[in-house]
Structure 1
């Protein structure tokens, strides 16, 4: 009875030690007498008690590391980086899990190697660039690092998912000089914009003034043309009226010079009524009157000759 009890207890213990529970997001590596045997996936698994043992439990979840380090540019400027590294096991295949389990003695050695590799890649890239270029090369730095260490990490069984350069700073002297450069560039841009705005304003004003001058000139030309036409019509009407009056006086056997005398006196009347002055000086001597009448009669004769020529043509 006692023997059965002992065997029963031993059997229970063997069953107990043969059960292995692997948590979700992990894979267990089983070894036999120190040699790799197989892997166990999440859930309840069995192993040979006392012969097989769990060598290591590998997490297949994403892991992150925060990095802070310094690099030097080609123009000897110190650059300070704060970054976050995100990585994980490539996949759950057996060969990948073996690499993860046996490449490094422990997780601390993996972390140290990974950090130094990333820092070295970034430093080698920064060493070929100038300080003024670094801030605009975040994407290029990340791409360069991924190209440099992806193959190495795959040999370890890991994959670099993301590298975020959260903060890139320089020495205080460099930051101050960069601020001055930005400020001067802003002032330059503002001055250029102000100059362009002033140029546009002046150009528009000149165009408006030119258009106003053109409009005024066109209006003046049209007004002068209309005035000329009006004067011409007035002269035609005057000439027509004088011709009709002269014809009627000739038919009545009257001297046509009376018309000229009447026009002369009418003109004097208009001078007196329309002029702003108070005095009109006229030579009222007999000689002057006779000379004026002769001149007016000569004008009348010329006008009559022109009208006769027009009728003949």
Structure 2
């Protein structure tokens, strides 16, 4: 019987250790007495009656996330997979409902997500599914919130985190996007080339205009210089025709001198005899005379026509 006291001590220690337990932060413990709900214990050191009471379960009060993948069809007959992330938490004041009323909350949430997504997505075309994914998430949250609040769960947020169309549809969409980008790039390149061509044409036109203006100014100055030269020669008794011949001959030999100074020039000016200046002058005088005669003849014809019309009237 010597071991009997030790047996009593051991039993007492077991009972003592079994009476106390700890509850972690953000956790609730369900305590039952003879299988019936007794109390809910929160974080800290807690006491229960050994043998009579037991810990039925622990409920996490942390925010949890459940990812649900739903496959459905859009309005334009495209199969698409949506990943919906549901963030939920057990309401601290409704731990009893969360523990006793609902055995598998994940399955319940998943069923509601499937129901809402398969009711909303078939109303939309594929492009609208991408654009209105927030509307789908809001509809899921509203449905879950109304359904799960009864079981002690609060839906914090729902997110449509991924939209994955059928692989062939994605390839087609990528080809369409690539074609659109190539079309836009071609349009920009065409606009750039057109601008370059227009600007180049404007620059050439401006260059020609300035070149023509320069030539006109040059000829105007040459004419003014010739006029002044003839006037100077007239003052010393040289007639206009002789002055013109002298100017032509002088310019002829000035040109020959300028060509002779060019060492790399292969130009040959023909004819280059002294008679050449006189011939050029005679040809010029003959051309001016013929032109004056033709102009005078045309004036006489016009006068005769006008007189004939007046007689007829």
Shorter-chain TM-score bucket reads: 0.5 to 0.7
Q: Any idea what SS the aligned residue of 2:28 has?
A: strand
Residue 117, structure 1, aligned to residue 112, structure 2: yes
* Shift in alpha-carbon separation, 1:263–1:227, aligned structure 2, 3 A: closer
Deviations 1:275-302 (A, max 9, x none): 943456989xxxxxxxxxxxxxxxxxxx
How far is the alpha carbon of 1:129 from its aligned partner? 0.8
The whole-number CA distance in structure 1 between the counterparts of 2:67 and 2:188 is 44
Shift of 1:261: 11
Query: Structure 1 residue runs of 4+, over 6 Å off?
Result: 1-10
Question: Closer, same or farther in 2 for the Cα pair 1:224/1:262, shift >3 Å?
Answer: closer
Q: Which secondary structure does the structure 2 equivalent of 1:76 belong to?
A: coil
TM-score by length of 2: 0.66
In terms of Rg, which structure is larger? 1
Gaps of 5+ in 1: 247-258, 284-313
Match 1:168 to one of 163, 180, 185: 163
Residues in 2 aligned to 1:134 and 1:13: alpha-carbon distance in whole angstroms: 61
In terms of mean alpha carbon deviation, does 67-76 or 134-143 score higher? 134-143
- SS of structure 2 residue aligned to 1:119: helix
TM-score under structure 1 length normalisation: 0.66
In structure 1, distance between residues paired with 2:12 and 2:185: 88
Q: Distance in 1 between matches of 2:278 and 2:127?
A: 95
Look up the match of 1:16. 17
Tell me what 2:256 maps to.
none
Q: 1:224 to 1:43 in 2, by over 3 A?
A: same
Q: Deviations over 1:228-248 (max 9, x none)?
A: 433343344334xx2xx45xx
Residues in 2 aligned to 1:27 and 1:97: alpha-carbon distance in whole angstroms? 7
* Equivalent-residue separation in structure 2 for 1:265 and 1:65 (angstroms): 109
Q: Indicate the RMSD between aligned Cα atoms, in angstroms.
A: 3.9
| Structural mapping, 1:241-280, within 5 Å | 242=235, 245=236, 259-260=238-239, 263=242, 267=246, 270=249, 274=253, 276-277=270-271, 278=273, 279=275
2:131 maps to 1:133: no
Superposed, 1:204-223 pairs within 5 Å as: 204-223=199-218
Aligned-residue offset at 1:155: 3.5
Gaps of 5+ in 2: 254-268, 280-313
Within 5 Å, which residues of 2 pair with 1:75-114? 75-81=76-82, 83=83, 85-91=85-91, 93=92, 95-104=93-102, 106=103, 109-114=104-109
